[in-house]
Amino acid sequence: MPKSLPKTKRTKDNVLAELRGLRSADAQWKEGRTFSLVYYVDDEHSRLLKEAYGEFMAENGLSPLAFPSLRRMEAEVVSMAAGLFHGDDDVAGTMTTGGTESIMMAVKTAREWARKEKGIARPEIIAPLTVHPAFEKAAHYFDVEIRHAAPGPDFRVDVREVERLITPNTALIVGSAPPYPHGVVDPITELAALAQSRGLLCHVDACLGGFFLPFAKQLGRDIPPFDFEVPGVTSLSADLHKYGYAAKGASVVLYRNRELRRHQFFTYSEWPGGLYISPSMTGTRPGGAIAAAWAVMHYLGEEGYLDHARRILATTDKLLAGIRAIPGLRVLGAPHAGVFAFTSDSVNVYELGDAMEGRGWKLDRQQNPPALHCMITPAHERVADTLLADLRECASKLAAGEPAPEGSAAMYGMVGAIPDRQQVDGFLLDFLDGVFDRG
Ligand SMILES: Cc1ncc(COP(=O)(O)O)c(C=O)c1O
């Protein structure tokens, strides 16, 4: 039975009190016990985002003519990002509402480019197996074929494998800086050189690392080139709402030049409602997200981003060393950012995840190979020692035969044992149905 709208009005305080109460069962991200989804710095930072977002909550970035304020902020955000990623004056882009939208736009741009400039009716893209599912989604939505290249033993995509997958229909080669699963930057220089030598586009998905890697490099870390300084890179996505520390709903997608960006835009001149122009996927574009992104870039500046990167690197170093020192645990590859995965050769790593969950830690589960995932933010600085102590204890108890509390290990075990991926997708659809029915 659908719910009806309340018959009567309520006071603002009353509604807000109920709203806040709904949080009680949510992931406790402020305490640093959650490892993705939220990039929390501190309350002062959050207040800045709230105020900036609130100032422009009503404005709509769809109309650049109505809101020159937003147009200016967006242009500055895109320009600051282009500068950070070694772009020259030709580099152009737009803001979007997030990594997925940026990626969708890069794939749509590649499709249009291939159709119009190369006469390819059904363009293909080549992406590493570790690439974010937003590329699968883009391929699905835009009817583009996606071919997957396997990573090498170091978790970076194997460039020879990418080369092998090129066909006359290939439009775009993708690499990530870094991919989400293991945090190891793909060989962007080699991928971009390959793309360039074959007359193809090359997109770098720096959604996760874009606003982190340049600062890690300034701090002396060995970060391979990944942006427009690499010849052959033709587009790049980077999320402000991740390590850009902006409010949710903010990312940038950049192109080597304006001609490429034109393929992203959508126009429709026959609508009775007027001449319609839309730079990206969504219609209405939330002004608050643009304003908060602009505000945080000015608030932190290079100094602030460097401070956060320094803290994250120190925490990550401590965690990687600590995990490597725990018997039976193994970090996958050599991660470049504050993102990494670890597995175990002696205990079931999913059971380890459940045991940690029993102690309040929400570590994401991964597959192929089974692993637990960490994404470090400034909020994790305070909890690194406790996390390591808990990991050590949980791993040693499991190794001694003590059972883990019931959690998702059984489900991952079951799913891993089903060879038919369509059947697994069916389970996932049922799961989604259930989630959205229950609310
Ligand atoms: C490497 C990478 N690309 C793209 C995305 C998608 O970003 P969003 O969730 O903002 O759509 C993510 C999200 O974690 C990511 O890690």
- The pLDDT tens digits for 373-424 are 999 999 999 999 999 999 999 999 999 999 998 888 888 888 878 888 888 8
The residue to which tokens 């309350």 are assigned: 43
The answer to whether the CB of 369 falls within 8 A of the CB of 184 is: no
Is residue 362 a contact partner of residue 27, using CB atoms and an 8 Å limit? yes
Residue whose CA lies nearest to ligand 1 atom number 5 = 99
Q: Where are the domains of the chain?
A: 52-297, 301-402
Give the C-alpha distances (Å, rounded to integers) separating 347 from 77, 131, 219, 410.
46, 28, 36, 14
* CATH class for the region spanning 52-297: alpha beta
Ligand 1 and 264: CB distance under 6 A: no
Distance 61 CA to ligand 1 centre (A): 22
**pLDDT in the model for residue 197:** 98
Listed in sequence order, the DSSP H helices in 325-383 are 349-358
Confidence of residue 87 (pLDDT cuts 50, 70, 90): very high
Q: What number does the ligand 1 atom closest to the CA of 36 have?
A: 14
438 has a pLDDT exceeding 80 = no
CA-CA distance, 135 to 173, in Å (whole number)? 11
258: which 2 tokens? 């304006």
Rg of the chain taking only CA atoms, in angstroms = 23
301-402 has the same fold as 52-297: no
Residue minimizing CA distance to atom 6 of ligand 1: 99
Q: Which residues pair with 147 in a beta bridge?
A: 126
CATH code, 301-402:
3.90.1150.10
Across the chain, mean pLDDT equals 96
pLDDT at 145: 98
Q: Which of 438, 434, 344 is nearest to 398 (CA)?
A: 344
Instruction: Give residue-wise pLDDT tens across range 255-297.
Output: 999 999 999 999 999 999 999 999 999 999 999 999 999 999 9
Residue 249 in contact with ligand 1 by CB distance below 6 A: no
Distance in angstroms between the alpha carbons of the first and the last residue of the chain: 13
pLDDT over 80 at 439, yes or no? no
96 lines ligand 1 (CB under 6 A): no
* Whether residue 99 has its Cβ less than 6 Å from ligand 1: yes
* Widest Cα–Cα separation across the chain: 72
Residue type, 240: L
**pLDDT tens-digit profile of 337-362?**
999 999 999 999 999 999 999 999 99
Quote the CA–CA distance of 104 and 62 in Å, as a whole number. Answer: 18
Higher pLDDT, 438 or 274: 274
Nearest-CA residue for ligand 1 atom 7 is 99
- β-bridge pairing 201-205 and 235-239: parallel
Grouping H, G, I as helix, E, B as strand and the rest as coil, residue 267 is strand
The 3-state DSSP class for residue 44 equals: helix
Q: What is the mean pLDDT of residues 61-88?
A: 96
Ligand 1 neighbourhood includes 100 CB (under 6 angstroms): yes
